Chain A
Amino acid sequence: MLEIQGLNVFYGDIQAVWDVSLHVDEGSIVALVGANGAGKSTLLRAISGITSAKEGEILFSGKSLKKLPPQDIVKMGISHVPEGRRLFSNLTVYENLKLGAYIPRSRRSVTQSIERAYDLFPVLKNRMNQKAGALSGGEQQMLAIARAMMSRPMILMLDEPSLGLSPMLVKTMFELIMNLNRQKVTILLVEQNIHQALKIADQAYVLENGKIAMTGKGKELLSDPEVQKAYIGTRWSKS
């Protein structure tokens, strides 16, 4: 469904992603894991068009995304929940959701989509007229995901959905991601919570300094001694 071939991404003179190739199968959960600054977020930003300086090829259902601006990429069915959520904080929950369905394809079904979002996250319904910035961290993350789902994407890219959430909420968040996946949404997940991410991932890629260091099935990587040593460590970082 999503195919990346030999991708290099730059920030000015600095290269953040080096010759990355990966593919995401339809209906799967793919996790990109790695330390801070490994290039995970950059990769997502390159796919969604926010970062435009890139070489190589990004194909979505056979079509090249490389030269498209972000507003055209979202129209093709790729939705991105960026790091730090990037909500429209002075707008209401309702307005945020409505903006999620801005593209023509999803505009017609906006009422049903909002109903679906409220079913998924009842708390958002109670707070529909509050400003997004007034929500708690967990609620904001829910809103960010609900907003991204409003465009009825085929693939949902989540950047650190568990960041800043309490352990309880982290669990809920990962259950939710699996839930969305069961509803036939393909998931591309970037996480620092490597343990949780690998547990749910069908396929996973480990990034190190902008390069793919390892790849495999999520559960396989989880038990890989190298990964354990480098990223999961001993009990205090297990969630």
Chain B
Amino acid sequence: MKKDKQVILTALLILAFAVVPFIVDSEKSYLVYSLFLFFCYIIISQAWNLVAGYTGQISLGQHAFFGLGAYTTALIWLNNITKTGYYFDPVTILLSGLVPATIAAIVGIPLLSRLRGDYFALGTLGMGEIIKVIFVKGGSITGASDGLHLPSSVYSSIRPYYWTGLFLAVFATLLIYLIVRSRTGLALKAIREDETSAAAHGIHVLKYKVLAFSIGAFLAGLCGSLYGIYLFHINPDSVLKLDWTLYPILMCVIGGTGTITGPLLGSFFISTVFSVADIYFVQMHPVMAGILIILVMKFMPKGLIGLTQRKEL
């Protein structure tokens, strides 16, 4: 009974989000844009949550996968590779997830088998910078530091962005939920807790780590694709900036890492703070965000999700 209720409540909540563009004027309201960003944040937060929160591998290279997703979309579109329409084309968006996922698997095997803990984190940071340099030096193929321009004349409304974002956020959350409840999820959590012990129980540690890393890259790539379609101008400074790694970490930590609802709360909290600060404290918002982060960490070390849990003895 309790579970049914939860399902119904979640469905109603999603429905409520889905109808927002019909209630407010989506083209003029700042709310629709903020919620679109909120959905993007959910996708990348859940991606990081799987890799770091559940598998315990602190990846600092998520921005590379985000950027790869955006660039994949732009390159497919501009070079007319799939011939499938491109503006909100599901094939292009899916490929923009699969390309980073494949690259994550390829670089993940050496990184994850050789490096552990902090060294893995630094390794992924290095990988992100290498990928950034490749795009900056990519000449006419990647448009170098100016990047690539998509035909922005196709833009007519923010609504398709909003709904695609909502869909992908629900998809990402559901995907992570199903993974962590499965046997695979149990293996990932065991690796987070104690790698050696996990291996001694028959878990192929590297295989599962690479799987999680790759799924994380897949989701980051999907988000990068959507964001790229929104920007119409894909360049290293916009889609390959470190923010796309730091924001999800911030949101997961604020909300509660290694839980499903934590990243949702964190994304909501951070995107609200960013939006409000953007309106009322122009140019001050990083300061305000910083203060709030310190306060949350000081008083709620388990993140916002800690508020809902009973104190453990």
A88, B190: Cβ atoms closer than 8 Å: yes
* Interface bits B72-116 vs A (CB < 8 Å: 1, else 0): 000000000000000000000000000000000000000000000
Residues of B contacting A70 with CB < 8 Å?
Answer: 196, 199-200
B207 to chain A, nearest CB (A): 9
- Identify the closest chain B residue to A85 (Cβ): B197
Give the residue among B183, B200, B203 with the most A Cβ atoms within 10 A: B200
A101 to chain B, nearest CB (A): 9
* Interface bits A84-111 vs B (CB < 8 Å: 1, else 0): 0011111100010011101100000000
B196, A86: Cβ atoms closer than 8 Å: yes
B184 to chain A, nearest CB (A): 11
B203, A88: Cβ atoms closer than 8 Å: no
Which of A74-82, A163-171, A209-217 lies at the interface with chain B? A74-82
Q: Is A228 on the interface with B (CB-CB < 8 A)?
A: no
Q: Is A71 on the interface with B (CB-CB < 8 A)?
A: yes
Q: Is A50 on the interface with B (CB-CB < 8 A)?
A: yes
Q: Is A134 on the interface with B (CB-CB < 8 A)?
A: yes
Interface contact tally, CB-CB below 8 A: 71
Residues of B contacting A100 with CB < 8 Å?
Answer: 201
Assess A71 versus B194: contact at CB under 8 Å? Given A88-B189, A95-B189, A134-B312.
Answer: no
- Identify the closest chain A residue to B312 (Cβ): A134
Residues of A contacting B192 with CB < 8 Å?
Answer: 90
Which of B187, B193, B194 is close to A102, meaning CB atoms less than 8 Å apart?
Answer: B187
B194, A134: Cβ atoms closer than 8 Å: no
Which of B193, B196, B199 is close to A91, meaning CB atoms less than 8 Å apart?
Answer: B193
B201, A151: Cβ atoms closer than 8 Å: yes
A97 to chain B, nearest CB (A): 11
A151, B202: Cβ atoms closer than 8 Å: yes
A90, B200: Cβ atoms closer than 8 Å: no
At the interface, is chain B mostly helix, strand, loop or mixed?
helix
Residues of B contacting A49 with CB < 8 Å?
Answer: 199-200
Q: Is B284 on the interface with A (CB-CB < 8 A)?
A: no
Report the bound CA distance from A75 to B201 in whole Å. Answer: 8
* Interface bits A206-235 vs B (CB < 8 Å: 1, else 0): 000000000000000000000000000000
A75, B196: Cβ atoms closer than 8 Å: no
A74, B190: Cβ atoms closer than 8 Å: no
A88, B204: Cβ atoms closer than 8 Å: no
B160 to chain A, nearest CB (A): 41
Report the bound CA distance from A102 to B182 in whole Å. Answer: 12
Q: Is A37 on the interface with B (CB-CB < 8 A)?
A: no
Q: Is B13 on the interface with A (CB-CB < 8 A)?
A: no
Query: Which residues between 182 and 236 of chain B lie within 8 Å of chain A, taking CB atoms?
Result: 183, 186-187, 189-190, 192-194, 196-205
Residues of A contacting B8 with CB < 8 Å?
Answer: none
Give the residue among A48, A86, A98, A100 with the most B Cβ atoms within 10 A: A86
* Interface bits A139-152 vs B (CB < 8 Å: 1, else 0): 00000000100010
Between A and B, 15 residue pairs with Cβ closer than 8 Å are A49-B200, A50-B199, A70-B196, A74-B202, A82-B200, A86-B194, A88-B190, A90-B189, A90-B192, A91-B189, A91-B193, A95-B189, A99-B190, A99-B198, A102-B201
List 8 tightest A-B contacts by C-beta distance, closest first.
Answer: A103-B202, A88-B193, A86-B197, A70-B199, A74-B202, A102-B202, A70-B200, A71-B202
- List 5 extra interface pairs beyond A88-B198, A102-B187, CB under 8 A: A70-B200, A71-B203, A82-B197, A102-B201, A134-B312
